[in-house]
Structure 1
Amino acid sequence: MFPGASSICALVLVLMCSSAATALNMTNICLLLKNNARIASADSCSNYYTCSNGAATSQSCSSGTYFDKNSQACVSTAPSYCSSNSTTTNPCAGHATGSFAAVSGSCTNYYYCGTNGAEEGTCPNNLVFNPTTQSCDYSSNYPCQSSNTSSSDANAVINLCLYIQKGIYFGNAFSCAGWQKCYNESSFTTGSCSNDLVFDTANAICNYPANVDCSQVTNDPNLDVNAASDGGTCTTSGELKNATACNQYYICNNAKWQLITCSTGKYYDTVSKTCVNRNVAYNDCDRCLGTNLQFVNAFGTNCTGYLYCVEGVEKSSGTCPTGDYFNEDMGGCVSENPNYVFCTSESSSSATTTSGSTDDTTASGETTASAATTEATTEAAK
């Protein structure tokens, strides 16, 4: 390693940590909720966040009181769920403020132990974290064997019901039309608006697309409701299944589902169960993810349907006139079917799809779309 590289990398770590968000993005949670909603904090029973215009602002209860997300107020007794609120134990225990700590099972990830607690980061450019020099280093200087598959891409999925008030409807980070509701801190339901409506987070109802900006769709892997419903456990080591986002999948490792992200430009293919180029992946997901195109083909529509994308997020969808097909390479409806592999419907693709290749990742307790829409609209009107 060239002289002075360790000190440079240590400085890079400090700069990265000073601007990096913690593993849990509270603003992305706020985007799922009505304005002025309050959410519990991940680091203290006495702290909480107020959601104002989609942004999270940190707040603290007065000394000796604790925040209760269900009453949306500070109370005299800490809620029973608070002890399990944090996503991890304190990784900075025993480390001085301003130092760095390794992430268990990862070669590339580290914690910066700042005044606000542990903040996780990742070494750039295929470097590994060297706990001896407290810096990002070449693997030739610090050989490391990760216990996780693609550990730098793994994400800790959280239980949203530990942060969000029970009994209210809130949005889905992966779908404009999707909604969720917590019954308590351990069970929830999820569904989707019907009749081409989308979920309006500002009013907690299903609404017309023209009235909703879908800002709640961030594709934040930490907010994957399907992963939360799995409970994080699995039985067959090495088993793979698709995640909510096109570019992610799960692998069963040490009896737990571990979320893995494909490399840039790749989608998870549910047939081959590998990461492949985006334009050849068979995967029922938001195909706006990872593209700068304004319009892309929709999955499973025999290439007649398309999605309207803004900065990699699906905002609306449409269908070409009868007899025409959408071609995302040409950017419009054409007379000839481009026959993209992801356009084929489930019935026509069943002959070429291997058994069990398209995994069921529907959240447990899901209500039918029509019933859910009625329930959400009725309760929101009360």
Structure 2
Amino acid sequence: MFGARGNLRSRWPSSKRRPIKTRRWENSTISLRLPFIGQYKWYSCFPTTAKKSITYQPTMTAKLLLATILCLMGASALAADPILEGNYNVTAVCTAVKTGTQLGSIESCQDYYVCSSSGPVKNSCQAGYSYAYTKSGCYPSSQVDCYWGLSEPCSGKNGTWVPNTAVCGGYFYCDEGKSSAPKRCGSGQVFDASSKSCVWGSCNDNLVETEGTTLNTICDVVPPGIWFGDTQACDIWYTCQSTTTGIKQTSGTCPIKTPEFNPQTQICGYPSATVCSRVTGIPISDAGVSCATNGDTKPDVTVCGQYLQCVNKQWTKVACAFGYYWDVESSGCKLREAATPVDTCNRCQFAKQSFVNAVDSDNCRNYLFCPSSGQPTALTCPEEHFFNEDIQGCAPDSGLDTYVATHGACYGATVAGSSTDSDDSSTPEKVA
């Protein structure tokens, strides 16, 4: 059904192909990669007849809530009661990643989860070690930047900023090992722990507001460099990429000929009976189907002209009028040209030209080529130029201020690029 093995190479979920690493799977053996002082050990959940296996019997210790999500991974049903940490639905994320993937915890720097075929299995690093989710291993705590569950996140730090994990977009300024009064990034910004700065983006774009520990982005727990699926559409895939300004989430869509993304093989493939069983209609980043307050709204992270509204305590998709985008600054629908959409959505929607601005609050240099089908291509103007969608080309920076005033995609952009809005030393610099 899937054709020759050699053809699998062409179904990577992006144009950047890489050699396929294969592992021989025997019967129903599933390998779990568990961290141990920076190294990996492989265990088998089910013994095989071909070789002696070490049987790993997982124990689940997790917070069980009344919300019920029935998601399938392969042919196995996951636990009916999801494991939740604040607004982080561990169970839902596990349905969309490859079996054996390790996810970070937002309740403790020592804890992590291994996604098995039956759901997430909670594990802990030994005393004195913390879990580094970007490396999928346990390392000495002094070598790991982790702030989850710490009573004093500024301990041992001075003259820097650290996240306030109880508030989306929140942070503290560290002074001689002590935290300042809680602060929060400005409108349209979230705090990025890796760059220690406020970055462009809308708080809780794809996560439910909750009391207690708050996950800002799915890339705070999913390791970079892997592809994972979506629980709303089978053809959508995501990946977390390390950049100079932190770890960013990107997404793409499988081609028409191979329309189903398979987290187990990490590629797009032909339709099958089980690959799309993870699709439940529940957003992968949402803590659950419920919302707190009727009437609340938030952007759709992939569709610029759509948003989510809390109706009868359930998040419901609502479309803006044709030619309108959801504007994160006003929390309402605006004409496409004037709107500032969430930076993860595709601005090729409703576009009449081949080239459009990407959402860029830094210097308005980034833009997209919109093909007639498939995913857009990201491009950048040269130094001292910004992209002008009206003239379909790069223009001198001397006209940027005038352009920004009427084009929401470049809201906040300046010739100098990112700048601090305040002279207060306890306010981190905003970066793109």
So what's the TM-score if we normalise by structure 1?
A: 0.41
So what's the TM-score if we normalise by structure 2?
A: 0.37
